[in-house]
Amino acid sequence: MRKGVALLVCLGLAGLCPATVFAASGAPPHWPMWNLLAGVLAFLAPVAVILIAAAGSPPEEAGELVATALGAVAAGLLAYAACGFAFEFGGIALQVNWPGFAALAAEWSPASPGTGAWGVVGLQGFFLGGAGATADLYALAAVHMPAVALAVLVPVLALGTRLSRGVLMALAVLVGGLLHPLVGNWVWGGGWLAFLGTNLGWGHGFVDLGGSATIHVLGAGVALVGILAAGRRRPSRAPRIVDLPPAYFPLFALTGALLAPVGWAGMVLANPLVTPDLAPGLVAVTLIVGVLGGAAPGLVYCWLATGRTNAQVAARGVVAGLVAASAGCGFMTPAAAFAAGLAAGGFLPLVSYGVEHRLRWHDPNGILATHGLPGIIGALWVALWADGRWGVGWNGVPSPPGVPQQGVAGLLVAPGRFSDVPGQLWAQLVGLGAILLLAICAASLVFGAALARAAVAKRAVARRPAARARSARR
């Protein structure tokens, strides 16, 4: 009981850390209070993820996992404030006509430095200071911090029990200060993935409203490399019945599952730079029905397999449904969001079993099944189910002649709208490929260096007895 109370206190303190910003043209002259209130609610998203991970950890490991997660979030957010924000939004003024961002006008682009149309990284706003240190800059950084925290937590919660604290803190700094800001620049800061629509005619460019790929696929890609670097689990010597994921703290799982939809909705709705035709009610409803779709398959599976429910499977299904619905939550109908959640929740127990017991990759918190695959589903769902009624002018793409209100469109569109497939599908596939490639390459360098250092230290320790023996013989 005392350990449970201590964990709740730690998680409450975690709420003291704050969603997402996308390239759009017009913006209000000041930050409405609604956006800042939604940004406060967004703090609940990383807290919910930590709660669900703690619920599935043994009592002797739960406290350590929570402390490590909080330390990683702190390190990642500090790195984001120091340089990550500049990398992500240092060139946002090239795309958004907002006086508060006038100084954020430096974007490195190998093809068009003056416009940032193929932008790769921003170059203004380091340490949240300088000439661009306006109230708008601080507000933009604040409402985006929950997304940074989530991106950091995905790999840290996957590897928290297998790597040293030093490696985990370095990983948090890498994700929060470099990897997530780079991807965020490409997708939300007016970078090259956002401009696939205007430069190549691929729909509205890469679209990821709530971060299915920009947060979760990125984090899962880093986690995958870390899981492989840490080594496979030893095979079981005797055949045994595979148990469902344990829920050591069911109350934590329930609390995390209830807080997650609120945090996710706040994270999306806090953004003041989205196109004005996006309906807040639609975003909230699609996320909620995505939760229902994600949780349903796991609950049915548990009932059929064991005759009872499992809190941990249900909580992970909630997160998987949210991740799958996030990318297109403002562009598709609730039925499409339910289908996305249903697909993510249906694959959840299968992928969890395959990862742990067939491939023998040690992923105790089910990160690959809960964040990785649902993130891929969510990004691709945009190219299938975005129906063209919302997102007019998204990523600077104008409506085609004869359809003045054409928004983000996939394959199955509303009456009177045109499908953007295959162009939108190419944009989504290229975006997913670029994000996974960056995550895997950067993580391989980090974990490769860590393994090389460990091997050198091991050889040095092994040589000491032989050196002592030779010295004694002399």
The lowest-confidence range among 106-120, 185-199, 281-295 is 106-120
Quickly list DSSP for 232-293. BPPPPSS--PPPPPP-S-HHHHHHHHHHHHHHHHHHHHT-S-S-TT--HHHHHHHHHHHHHH
* Cα dihedral value 428, 434, 435, 439, nearest 10: 160
Helices (H) and strands (E) in the chain, counts: 17, 2
pLDDT at 19: 33
Confidence of residue 471 (pLDDT cuts 50, 70, 90): low
Q: Which residue has the higher pLDDT, 341 or 308?
A: 341
Tokens of 38: 């939604």
pLDDT for the residue numbered 467: 55
Confidence of residue 10 (pLDDT cuts 50, 70, 90): very low
Q: Which amino acid is at 347?
A: F
Helices (H), 80-116: 85-89
Please check whether residue 212 is in contact with residue 344, taking contact to mean a CB–CB distance below 8 angstroms: no
The overall average pLDDT reported for the chain is 87
**DSSP SS3 for 23:** coil
Write out pLDDT tens, residues 47-91. 999 999 999 999 999 999 999 999 999 999 999 999 999 999 999
pLDDT in tens, 121-167: 999 999 998 777 888 889 899 999 999 999 999 999 999 988 888 88
pLDDT exceeds cutoff 80 at 391: yes
More confidently predicted of 240 and 313 = 313
Contact 55, 250 (CB under 8 A): yes
pLDDT at 469: 59
Which of 424, 442, 438, 446 shows the shortest CA–CA distance to 206? Answer: 424
Q: Higher pLDDT residue, 454 or 96?
A: 96
Find out whether 227 and 221 touch, Cβ atoms under 8 Å.
no
pLDDT score for 236:
60
Cα(11)–Cα(397) distance, integer angstroms: 42
pLDDT value at 344 more than 90: yes
Rounded to two decimals, what is the model's pTM?
A: 0.91
Report the alpha-carbon distance of residue 474 to residue 462 in Å, rounded: 20
Q: Looking at residue 254, what is its pLDDT?
A: 94
Where exactly are the structural domains of the chain? Answer: 17-233+247-473
| Residue 20 pLDDT > 70 | no
So what CATH class is 17-233+247-473? mainly alpha
Nearest to 155 by CA among 63, 220, 214: 220
pLDDT at 342: 97
Contact 219, 156 (CB under 8 A): no
**C-beta neighbour count of 234 within 10 angstroms:** 8
pLDDT at 161: 85
Cβ neighbour number for residue 393 with a 10 Å cutoff: 19
Return the pLDDT at 230.
87
Residue 402 has pLDDT above 90, yes or no: no
